[in-house]
């Protein structure tokens, strides 16, 4: 995927987290919710991949639908 191509990802987050993100975007010139989210996801993935010893293998199929099993 090229850097200019984007894909939509819908997630459910707590109202408190969404409000904090909106406040940060409001008070940070040039920041967008998409930019904040992308940066946070990149940082989190970098941490997980470091713990994993490198990037994760490609999936063999689609992610399971529904709530996560605990």
Q: Where are the domains of the chain?
A: 15-51
Q: Which pLDDT does position 47 carry in this prediction?
A: 98
- Give me the residues of the chain with pLDDT under 50, please: none
pLDDT at position 69, please?
A: 65
Q: Report how far residue 51's alpha carbon sits from residue 45's, in angstroms, rounded to the nearest whole number.
A: 10
C-alpha–C-alpha distance, residues 63 and 49, integer Å: 18
Q: d(Cα 57, Cα 70) in Å, to the nearest integer?
A: 23
Read off the DSSP letter of residue 24.
Answer: H
What's the pLDDT score for residue 50?
98
Paired tokens of 11: 């997630």
């Amino acid at each position: 995927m090229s850097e200019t191509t984007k894909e939509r990802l819908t997630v459910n987050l707590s109202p408190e987290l969404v409000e904090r993100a909106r406040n940060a975007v409001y008070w940070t010139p040039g920041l967008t919710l998409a930019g904040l989210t992308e940066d946070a996801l990149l940082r989190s993935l970098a941490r997980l991949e470091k713990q994993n010893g490198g990037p994760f293998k490609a999936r063999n199929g689609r992610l399971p639908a529904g709530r996560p099993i605990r």
